[in-house]
Every structure is written in C-alpha cells, then in structure tokens.
C-alpha cells in the first residue's frame, strides 16, 4: 500500500502525517521537537508506527533549520564576500533603513560576514554591461590563497551590474569552485537589479548552504539506512515543493517553509469547500501567524527580511537580512502556547515575547518550566484538559500551572484565575492585530472572509478572535495541530526563474528562460511540467514594481493599470517599463485526496468540565472529537477535544461536523 508522508519540524513540536493511497486513510503523530538530532527523532517516530518502509513513495518535509541558524547565529560557517574594489561595506550601508527611528543608540543587525572576510577585486562592468576593466588572474590567485589561509567554507560573489553581464562572476566562480565546495554568484541566486538586495540575498544563501546541505545529507542518509528509497522533497517559502538538491543550492528558498505549508493546506481545503476568501490563523507553541487568501490566491511577496524583528505583527524594515525570494506573506506575532507571562517594573501584566518552547515548555508539562505561559492560563481556566493531552499520551500537571501563576499573581495582588483571564485577553489582542494587518490594513474587510484556524493552540482562541474581528464562520480542520504537515501533501514542485529585461525584447528574454528551465528539468528527470509567465512592471520613474501575469504580452499594460489601481487607488496614462521577466515552473507530484465521509451514528463520548466563562466557572459539555461523525451539531459554550488540538466554542456560537470531518463554527 503506497504511502505519502508529510513531516513538519517546528520549534516546539514535530508533526507527521501519513497518507495511505489505497484506502485513503490518514495516520498522524505529534512529538516534541529535537533541534540537535532531528533525523533520529524522525527515524524513531517512523519506526514506532510500524510502517513498511518500502511502501513509502514520497516524503515531503518542512523545517526551521534555516530560520534557526539566522536567528541564533549558532554554527554559522566562515563565509567570504567577493565584490568590486571599494564596495565591501555594502552590507553595512544597505538601504539606510532605521528599524527604530527615534532611538539614537539603535544597532543594526550584525553582518553575516565580518568585514575582514570581504574582498574587493579591481575589475568593473558598467551599467550597460560593457567591460571597463578585466579581472587580473594574479589578483585572483592571491585571493584564493587568502581564502584558504582563513579556512573559508562558503563564498558569496556579487559584482556591480552582474545582472546585465555576469561574465566576471562566472569567471571567478569557475576558478574558486576548484578549491571550495560552496561558491555562489548573485547572477544565479538573484539575477535582478538593486545591488544591495542582490548581494544580501547571495550572502544569506552562501551562509546557509553548508548548514542546510549537512542537514539534508543527515536526513537523507538516515532514510537510506532505513531502506526508504522514495523521493525526498522540501517545502519552499513560496508554497511549493522542491528537490533536496535544489534546497542545497538555494537554501534561501526554505527559510519560511513551515508557515507556508499551513497556508497551502488552507488553500487546498478551501477549494474543496468552494470558499475563495479565507483568513488563515495558525497558533503553535511559539508564534501565531495570520495570512490571507483572496479570490482563491494566497498573498505573495517577493522580498522579506530573514531573522528580522516584528512589532505588533509588522516586519520592522532594517532589522533583519534582506532576502529577495517569493514567499507567502504572513503577519507573525510572538504568541503561542509557550509564550511566557510576566510582570514589569510598573506592576503591569505582560505576555511575551519570550517563549518556553518545547524545552522546558509550559510549567504544566513538568519538564522543568517554571514560568507561567498561555498554555498554563488555559489549563487554569479549564479550557484545556487539566489531566492529559495527545489522547492521554502526555500527562498534564495543573498544580504546577497554579504554582507558576502564583509567581506573578502575588505581584499583581490578584488570584490565579483573574491573572489567567488577563493573559488570554492580552494574547488575543496581539493576535487580533496580526489578523488586522493582513486584512483591514490592506483594504480587506474580515467580515467578508471565513477563518481556517489550526495549529495546536489556534482553535482554543479562534472564537475570541472571530468575535473581535467580526468574522462569522470558522473552519477547524480534522487535525488542526498537524495541518501544516498535511499541507505538505497537497502541493507540486514549483521553481522560479527570473531575468532582468532592460531594453531587451521581452519575448526573447522568456525564450532564454524557458530554455534554461527545460534543461534543468531534464537534468533532474522532472517531466510533465507547466510554465506560467510573469513580469515586474512599474511606471517609468517609480522605485518599485508590481508582479503581474504575462501570458498575453498585449494585455500587460491593461493588467498593470488595473492592479495598480486596486493596490493604490489610482492609475495613470504614464508610460510603463518592464523590469524583470519571471517563469513559474510547476511539476506535478503525487498528492493527498480529500475524501468525503458518510453521516454516521457513532456513540458520542461526552463529559463535563468546569470552565471559566463570564466571571465564573460553569459546567459545560466536553466532546471527544474522534467520536463525532459528519452531521453532528452542537451549541456553545462547549469544548471539543481531539488528539492534537482543543476547540473552545464560545457562547452564541454553534458548531457542526461537515462531510470532510471539519468542525464548522458559526456565530
């Protein structure tokens, strides 16, 4: 029986979804993450499920390995930057964005490459692509000796105007690749204009390559030892899959792989349910993320700042490392089940940004956590099971939650219940701002959208957020805590190819891109692919572009005018210019099928529990989700407990189980 496996390694938990292609059944497993030895964790988890490894025909994977490396700066390889003479300070100069406008003592993020490992070559190409000064081979030989002496592991090469003429970059790469394993040139990593963004993207790619390649090698070797010979794909930040070799060459492509999977899972589910407008709400152990799907399409951005800071869900420009690669646009806040509550010097209750993570985790987990968290607050209020999680596999210690909460309740001169209620209100307010950023601030009314809520903690807070934003319908998938891993099994391989247009004929630029893409697909035995054409367009004189479809060249201006008016409220008859041409190449891979379930009449398992509602504890029904069949209906207040997540249905909300075993809540 062939099986598809989705593995999502998050900061707190690792989720595994196994899809049997014959009987269309799904098996799931949720375990605490191990950042030190993830390959051993996955290996032991798969062995515990007693799977015939020879039956596995595809493994799709999302990981935080790239993100963690940039956030912690731990284990970063010694990397060098080679650029033109006089331009080695480009990483500091950047775009002069101040992350804190009124802070005279703010500090920019530490450059990923120290200044002493940046080298300028006395060669130059002008803005028209003409060679002004050739590369001196003796200078190149001397540079190689310096790099060897410094034990450089990875090299980023970014020359002026290489997006027009990459000949110098290719010459240096060809020479240094004989002596170093990781050599990257900007004309291959990000072949578009804007020197700083192109250089920063190439630097991030070079820094991550040894880390990601070692990670994928360890994971691949472990699968090989287990007798698994299936293809091993990695999730991209743009919501598509790619081969492990592509991830090694372009590790910038997987920085936001985990969050992307959740939005793509929502897209897959919404299409099956005939919904076009969806707000996605993903709350895990460390962060909460909100995204938007409008008219059946997720919001995509072409640039982000990796490892940057956020404020109320907004990315702070200038606080991270610029990466120019398509990614699914999300608003993210430090709001998860493990987010720590504390009291500041003014005796005010604060929640976050620090998190207890998976180790030591919330106090209730009895793994060494001493600080009160959002999870502890939900346990004290009765929203979460005070005895166990994961269907009894994970013991919960409510007394430890109460003991931890007393650390701050004494300072506030309040009891633990009222403090816990305050924690929930504060964290809900933070997550509400994230939803507002992706909807209201972009001119979209959240009342016109349904919400898909997932993540281990998302369904606990979904009703609160929906009430705040005016959302009238919430969909909680069958396995919300493993929904991102589920999303890994719903997508195809996608690759982006781009080239600057300048004054070249647009059709000839696309012809070259198609040749390049076709050759690469052939080399990797990837057949049955489709191609979509896009262009970056702007009015002449504008600083930034809009990406639009270019399937019909004659309609580019009309499409641009309409998109510009939609985004900015106006359009004009000014001349336009095409800056970049892009190909989106898709290769079909086996995917999961969403099967409708028949209305059943199972014996419903139902208990009662005291839950804090409207300033007092009330006894409300608690349903075991696995016993609820399609067609079952109920009213709030109620709690629906599943293996991987708990749904809190507030008063004035009702719920029913639909034909896909989603829990649909309506106000």
Where do the structural domains in the chain lie, given as residue ranges? 71-212, 257-335+437-484, 344-426, 493-587, 606-666
What value does the mean pLDDT take over residues 255-281? Answer: 92
Q: How many Å apart are CA 180 and CA 71, to the nearest integer?
A: 26
What value does the mean pLDDT take over residues 641-652? Answer: 94
Q: Is the pLDDT of residue 601 over 70?
A: no
Residues 493, 411 contacting (CB under 8 angstroms): no
Alpha helices in 165-306 (DSSP H): 167-176, 186-189, 195-225, 244-249, 257-272
Task: Of 254, 222, 229, give the one whose Cα is nearest residue 61.
Answer: 254
Residue 312: the pLDDT is 67
Task: Of 97, 515, 472, 66, give the one whose Cα is nearest residue 279.
Answer: 472
pLDDT confidence of 34, banded at 50, 70, 90? confident
**Computed from CA positions of residues 107, 109, 110, 111, in that sequence, does the dihedral angle turn out positive or negative?**
negative
For the structural domain made of 71-212, what CATH number should be given? 3.40.50
pLDDT confidence of 603, banded at 50, 70, 90? confident
Residue 319 or residue 162, greater confidence = 162
Q: How many Å apart are CA 622 and CA 605, to the nearest integer?
A: 8
Residue 613: the pLDDT is 94
Query: What's the Cα-to-Cα distance from 407 to each of 332, 377, 404, rounded to whole Å?
Result: 28, 13, 6
Q: Is the pLDDT of residue 68 over 90?
A: no
Encode pLDDT of 525-580 as tens digits: 888 899 999 999 999 989 889 999 998 888 999 999 999 998 888 999 999 999 99
What value does the mean pLDDT take over residues 613-626? Answer: 94
Burial 584-605 (b: 16+ CB within 10 A, else e): bbbbebbbbebeeeeeeeeeee
pLDDT confidence of 313, banded at 50, 70, 90? low
Residue 632: the pLDDT is 94
Encode pLDDT of 352-381 as tens digits: 888 887 778 899 999 999 999 999 999 999
Query: Exposed/middle/buried for 290, CB within 10 Å: 0-12, 13-18, 19+?
Result: buried
For the structural domain made of 257-335+437-484, what CATH number should be given? 3.30.420
Encode pLDDT of 444-501 as tens digits: 899 999 999 999 999 999 999 999 999 999 999 999 999 999 999 999 999 999 999 9
Task: Of 116, 126, 186, give the one whose Cα is nearest residue 156.
Answer: 186
pLDDT confidence of 263, banded at 50, 70, 90? very high
Encode pLDDT of 406-441 as tens digits: 999 999 999 999 999 999 999 999 999 999 999 998
Mean pLDDT of all residues in the chain? 92
Q: Is the pLDDT of residue 600 over 70?
A: no
Q: Is the pLDDT of residue 581 over 70?
A: yes
Residue 452's beta-bridge partner residues?
Answer: 280, 475
Residue 31: the pLDDT is 86
What do you get for the CA distance between the two ends of the chain, in Å? Answer: 42
What value does the mean pLDDT take over residues 647-654? Answer: 97
One fold for both 71-212 and 257-335+437-484?
Answer: no
Residues 660, 26 contacting (CB under 8 angstroms): no
Residues 326, 340 contacting (CB under 8 angstroms): no
Q: How many Å apart are CA 393 and CA 120, to the nearest integer?
A: 58
DSSP letter at 373?
A: B
Give the number of residues written for the chain: 667
- Measured in degrees and rounded to the nearest 5, phi and psi for residue 379 equal -70, -45
Task: Return the residue matching tokens 């009160």.
Answer: 372
The share of the chain scoring above pLDDT 90, in percent, equals: 73
Residue 480: the pLDDT is 94
Residues 511, 494 contacting (CB under 8 angstroms): no
Residues 337, 329 contacting (CB under 8 angstroms): no
């Amino acid at each position: 029986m062939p099986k598809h496996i989705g593995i999502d390694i998050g900061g707190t938990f690792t989720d595994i979804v196994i899809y049997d292609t014959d009987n269309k059944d799904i098996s799931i497993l949720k375990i605490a993450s191990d950042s030190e030895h993830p390959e051993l964790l996955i290996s032991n988890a798969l062995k515990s499920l007693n799977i015939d490894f020879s039956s596995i025909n595809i493994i799709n994977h999302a990981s935080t390995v790239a993100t963690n490396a940039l956030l912690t700066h731990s284990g970063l390889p010694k990397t060098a930057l080679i650029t033109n003479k006089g331009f080695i300070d480009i990483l500091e100069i950047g775009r002069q964005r101040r992350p804190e406008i009124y802070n005279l003592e703010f500090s920019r993020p530490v450059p990923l490459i120290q200044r002493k490992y940046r080298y300028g070559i006395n060669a130059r190409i002008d803005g028209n692509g003409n060679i002004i000064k050739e590369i001196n081979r003796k200078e190149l030989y001397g540079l190689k000796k310096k790099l060897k002496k410094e034990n450089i592991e990875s090299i980023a090469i970014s020359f002026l105007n290489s997006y027009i003429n990459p000949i110098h970059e290719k010459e240096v790469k060809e020479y240094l690749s004989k002596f170093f394993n990781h050599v990257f040139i900007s004309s291959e990593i990000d072949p578009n204009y804007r020197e700083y963004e192109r250089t920063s993207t190439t630097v991030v790619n070079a820094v991550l390559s040894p880390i990601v390649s070692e990670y994928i090698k360890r994971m691949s070797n472990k699968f090989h030892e287990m007798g698994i010979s299936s293809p091993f794909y990695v999730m991209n930040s743009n919501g598509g899959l790619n081969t492990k070799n592509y991830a090694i060459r372009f590790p910038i492509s997987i920085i936001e792989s985990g969050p992307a999977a959740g939005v793509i899972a929502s897209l897959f589910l919404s299409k099956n349910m005939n919904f076009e407008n969806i707000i996605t709400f993903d709350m895990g152990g460390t962060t909460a993320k909100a995204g938007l799907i409008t008219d059946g399409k997720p919001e995509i951005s072409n640039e982000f700042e990796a490892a940057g800071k956020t404020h109320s869900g907004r990315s702070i420009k200038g606080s991270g490392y610029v990466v120019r690669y398509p990614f699914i646009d999300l608003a993210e806040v430090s709001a998860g089940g493990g987010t720590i509550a504390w009291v500041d010097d003014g005796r005010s209750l604060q929640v976050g940004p620090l998190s207890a993570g998976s180790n030591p985790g919330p106090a209730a987990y009895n793994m060494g956590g001493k600080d009160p968290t959002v999870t502890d607050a939900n346990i004290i209020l009765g929203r979460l099971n005070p005895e166990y999680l994961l269907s009894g596999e994970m013991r919960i210690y409510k007394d430890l939650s109460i003991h931890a909460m007393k650390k701050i309740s004494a300072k506030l001169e309040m009891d633990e219940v009222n403090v816990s209620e305050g924690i929930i209100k504060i964290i809900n307010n933070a997550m509400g701002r994230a939803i507002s950023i992706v909807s209201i601030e972009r001119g979209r009314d959240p009342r016109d959208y349904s919400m898909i809520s997932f993540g281990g903690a998302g369904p606990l807070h979904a009703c609160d957020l929906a009430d705040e934003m005016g959302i009238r319908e919430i969909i909680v998938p069958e396995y919300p805590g493993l929904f991102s891993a589920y999303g890994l099994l719903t997508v195809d391989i996608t690759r982006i190819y781009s080239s600057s247009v300048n004054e070249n004929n647009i059709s000839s630029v696309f012809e070259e891109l198609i040749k390049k893409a076709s050759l690469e697909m052939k080399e990797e035995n990837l057949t049955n692919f489709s191609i979509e054409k896009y262009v970056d367009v702007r009015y002449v004189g504008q600083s930034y572009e809009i990406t639009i479809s270019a399937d019909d060249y004659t309609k580019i201006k009309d499409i641009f005018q309409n998109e510009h008016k939609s985004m900015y409220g106006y359009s004009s008859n000014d001349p336009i210019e095409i800056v970049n041409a892009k190909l989106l190449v898709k290769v079909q891979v086996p995917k999961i099928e969403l099967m409708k379930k028949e209305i059943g009449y199972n014996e419903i398992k139902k208990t009662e529990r005291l839950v804090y509602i409207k300033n007092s504890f009330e006894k409300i029904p608690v349903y075991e989700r696995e016993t609820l069949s399609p067609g079952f209906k109920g009213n709030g207040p109620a709690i629906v407990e599943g293996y991987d997540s708990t749904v809190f249905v507030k008063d004035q909300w009702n719920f029913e189980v639909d034909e896909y075993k989603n829990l649909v809540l309506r106000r």
